[in-house]
């Protein structure tokens, strides 16, 4: 138990070894166990252990704090260290994941545990530990060579891991949809916005496949400008021209390979006078609109 005493008696900071063990176990679970509710609960304990070990590292080997003060300081340091580590990895471009707790919390815990076990001046204790850890005087030539290669590999892996944060990888290619006037790629032709009732106008519809191949539906709708959004649409079928009135809908199935482009010219005749919006949509296999283009038109 952590004593609560009005006399503030100095005692050795307790449970640092237990907190270090929690962080070590958490690091193992992150690697070998897929995300689940139980691992999430243990991650909360690991977060608190980070703040607790940070407090132990700041205060030293002995304390004059009550249990309530230790709880308050540990909670505050947990929030501070976790936020600071998240900011640090985000600046480096590394995704903010549970590994941030492992990368930052585990060295803090090990340092606090080492400080509790070693006697004397803390700086001297760490210096002595480092000197003993890196003392290879009794190693054979072959063993020293193996250690050199191992340390060089670790240093190279660390440099590469940090350097990868500065490399920008292209994201996944998303499906797309575009409309243009015939010959519009050279920038001289413009999409028609004025229609004469019953007189067809040509519009080229182009679809671009994403990173993965798939089946899609190209949908064309004619929506009056005063539509409320609750109306139902009626199907029209391919003709030359494609004759459309209010709330008409035409659809065509296509298959796009990875990065593949599909294009077709539609001759559209609007059979009613008024203000409308032509809606062109690309719909995937689960009926989700993945890309959409609009054209506001006036029919006289």
The segments of the chain whose pLDDT lies below 70 read 1-12, 60-64, 89-103, 117-137, 158, 161-171, 184-188
| 182-191 pLDDT tens trace | 875 555 578 8
Identify the CATH number of the domain defined by range 176-299. 2.60.40.10
pLDDT of 33: 76
| 104-145 pLDDT tens trace | 777 777 777 777 765 555 566 656 666 666 666 677 788 778
- Three-state helix/strand/coil letters over the chain: CCCCCCCCCCEECCCHHHHHHHHHHHHHHHHHCCCCHHHHHHHHHHHHHHHHHHHHHHHCCEECCCHHHHHHHHHHHHHHHHHHHHHHHHHHCCCCCCHHHHHHHHHHHHHHHHHHHCCCCHHHHHHHHHHHHCCCCCCCHHHHHHHHHHHHHHHHHHHHHHHHHHCCCCCCCCCEEEEECCCHHHCCCCCCCEECCCCCEEEEEEEECCCCCEEEEEEEEEEECCCCCCCCCEECCCCCCEEECCCEEEEEEEEECCCCEEEEEEEEEECCCEEEEEEEEEECCCCCEEEEEEEEEEEC
pLDDT of 112: 77
Bridge partners of residue 219, in order along the sequence? 251, 281
Q: How many CB atoms lie within 10 A of CB 27?
A: 19
pLDDT of 167: 61
pLDDT of 128: 65
Boundaries of every domain in the chain: 11-135, 176-299
């Amino acid at each position: 138990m952590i004593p609560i005493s009005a006399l503030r008696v100095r005692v050795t900071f307790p449970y640092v070894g237990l907190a270090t063990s929690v962080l070590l176990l958490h690091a193992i679970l992150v690697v070998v166990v897929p995300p689940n509710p139980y691992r999430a609960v243990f991650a909360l304990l690991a977060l608190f252990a980070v703040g607790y070990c940070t407090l132990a590292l700041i205060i030293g080997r002995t304390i004059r704090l009550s249990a309530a003060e230790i709880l308050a300081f540990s909670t505050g340091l947990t929030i501070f260290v976790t936020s600071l580590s998240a900011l640090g990895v985000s600046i480096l471009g590394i995704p903010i994941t549970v590994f941030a707790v492992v990368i930052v919390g585990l060295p803090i815990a090990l340092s606090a545990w080492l400080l509790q076990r070693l006697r004397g001046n803390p700086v001297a204790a760490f210096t002595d530990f480092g000197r003993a850890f890196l003392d290879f005087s009794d190693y054979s030539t072959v063993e020293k060579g193996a250690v050199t290669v191992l340390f060089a590999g670790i240093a190279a892996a660390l440099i590469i891991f940090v350097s990868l944060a500065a490399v920008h990888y292209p994201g996944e290619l998303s499906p797309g949809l575009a409309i243009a006037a015939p010959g519009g790629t050279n920038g001289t032709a413009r999409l028609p916005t004025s229609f004469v009732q019953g007189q067809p106008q040509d519009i080229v519809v182009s679809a671009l496949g994403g990173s993965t191949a798939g089946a899609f539906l190209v949908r064309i709708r004619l929506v009056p400008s005063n539509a409320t959004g609750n109306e139902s649409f009626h199907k029209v079928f391919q003709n030359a021209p494609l004759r459309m009135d209010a709330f008409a809908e035409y659809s065509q199935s296509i298959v796009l390979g990875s990065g593949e482009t599909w294009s077709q010219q539609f001759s559209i005749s609007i059979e009613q006078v008024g203000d409308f919006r032509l809606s062109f949509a690309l719909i995937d296999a689960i009926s989700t609109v993945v890309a959409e283009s609009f054209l506001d038109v006036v029919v006289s």
